[in-house]
């Protein structure tokens, strides 16, 4: 069975609590339920990890890769726009990753429009809400 890790970065544990006009009203737990349901259909094993800390996300990438994870779905939150270290962490494990953003970062503030981490990924899905994660899972499952 293919194994995929879903990594969520800073503040994504606050989903559903504020800014519903941008991120909706559903929570991170709801997102996990949605992705798990799709994973069952696809016959893929999924692992979830969320952290507000850059180093913890880097450690998780290394640990998941060493444990045999074959692909990553990543939403590094605001670290997407700043973190060369997370870019390098994805490069260091050499597994396909797809970056997901719930909101459309290209249509938001200037400082969100560029992703530092996307160039370490095989694709980016931005602005499609939670279904973006489901789409990313389908793409990785089909590789």
* Active-site residue set: 23, 101
Compute and round to an integer the Cα radius of gyration of the chain.
14
CA-based nearest residue to 128, from 120, 119, 137, 140: 137
* Residue 69 CB, nearest approach to ligand CA2 (Å): 21
By CB neighbour count within 10 A (0-12 exposed, 13-18 middle, 19+ buried), where does 1 fall? exposed
Stretch that binds ligand CA2, among 24-32, 44-52, 56-64, 96-104 (CB under 6 A): 96-104
Stretch that binds ligand CA2, among 15-23, 32-40, 47-55, 133-141 (CB under 6 A): 15-23
Q: How far is CA 121 from the centre of its chain?
A: 11
Residue 77 found at the interface with ligand CA2 (CB under 6 A): yes
Residue 82 found at the interface with ligand CA2 (CB under 6 A): no
Spatial separation of the C-alpha atoms in residues 100 and 110, rounded to whole Å: 18
Residue 60 found at the interface with ligand CA2 (CB under 6 A): no
Spatial separation of the C-alpha atoms in residues 85 and 88, rounded to whole Å: 5
The binder of ligand CA2 chosen from 3, 11, 48, 129 (CB under 6 A) = 11
Residue 65 found at the interface with ligand CA2 (CB under 6 A): no
The binder of ligand CA2 chosen from 5, 57, 71, 75 (CB under 6 A) = 75
């Amino acid at each position: 069975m293919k194994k995929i890790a879903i990594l969520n970065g800073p503040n994504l544990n606050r989903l559903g609590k504020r800014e519903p006009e941008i991120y909706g009203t559903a929570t991170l737990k709801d997102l996990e339920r949605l992705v798990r349901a799709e994973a069952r259909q696809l016959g893929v094993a999924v692992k979830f990890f969320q952290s507000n800390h850059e180093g913890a996300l880097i450690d998780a990438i290394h640990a998941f890769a060493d444990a045999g994870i074959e692909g990553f779905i990543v939403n590094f939150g605001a670290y997407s726009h700043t973190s060369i270290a997370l870019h390098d962490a994805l490069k260091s494990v050499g597994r396909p990753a797809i970056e997901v953003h719930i909101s459309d970062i290209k249509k938001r503030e200037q400082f969100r429009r560029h992703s530092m981490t996307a160039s370490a990924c095989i694709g980016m899905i931005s602005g499609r809400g939670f279904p973006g994660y489901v789409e990313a899972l389908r793409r990785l499952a089909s590789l």
